[in-house]
Amino acid sequence: RASAWHLHVPAMAGECCGFADTPQGYRWCTRLAKLFCLSIFAAESLSYNVVFLGRLLPAWVRPFCSFPLAVVFNVLWCLSVCCYLRAMFADPGVVPKQWQEFVQKEDTDITVSAPRHGWQPGVATMCKDCNIPRPERSHHCSHCKVCVLRYDHHCIWIDNC
């Protein structure tokens, strides 16, 4: 039984409006979400480096404090942007044919259960759309029409669908 929270939260962030129901609308929403995330990164860097380090910090304390703070912030900022871009360009993967063959070969050792809402640790589930067994953490993507191995790396903000 789904809780009240699950009834009000869309399955994906792009499904909150009717526009994202079409492939063109979904693609437009994902591009807009990526542009929003990248603009947040740019605004964060600009506001910290120009406004805080360039104007506010020298007025409060001695100017020599700006350089170490700039180095620390910009190193962490670059790592964050690199992680975001790596996640954006990473392939989340689809459930391989070898997995299906392995489950059929080892049918007595591996229990394939019906899908439930939520994580089922150590349990393979049967996809109701593809009608194939899938490992844990994998889910069916309604836009790709395949079962995705790492569905938590497969969202509108990253757009690696």
Within 13 Å, how many C-alpha atoms sit on residue 85's CB side? 8
Q: Looking at 29, 141, 147, 155, which residue is catalytic?
A: 155
How do strand 146-148 and strand 133-134 relate by DSSP bridges?
Answer: unpaired
Instruction: Determine how β-strand 112-113 pairs with β-strand 124-126.
Output: parallel
Q: Which residue(s) pair with 113 in the sheet?
A: 125
65 is catalytic: no
Strand (E) or helix (H) holding 79: helix 66-89
Q: Are the beta carbons of 112 and 122 closer than 8 angstroms?
A: no
Catalytic (active-site) positions: 155
